[in-house]
Amino acid sequence: LLKLDESVQDSLDLMKRGIAAPNDRVAMTAIQGIPRVGERGKELVPLALAKATDTNPFTRAAVVWLVGQLPPEEAKKAAAEVG
């Protein structure tokens, strides 16, 4: 998802498009990439959490996985938001 010759913002924009993609594997991969970009990926977490009710099970599973990757306080807050 991230290329060495791209700016951080370009990479985050690419991940945002991936999260919004209708293709289940693309969205899943983009969501799973969020923890790999560290603090820069924090802005993507709300976008990913919004996919918790997606019709695609791969996307929903990626959201659950993401919540498990968050620090405990953030995970607790995210889980409450997701329901």
What is the pLDDT at residue 6? Answer: 66
19-54, pLDDT tens digit by residue? 999 887 999 999 999 999 888 899 999 999 999 999
| Residue 64, H or E segment | helix 57-69
Model-level pTM?
0.84
Cα 4 from Cα 67, distance rounded (Å): 27
Report the alpha-carbon distance of residue 42 to residue 54 in Å, rounded. Answer: 20
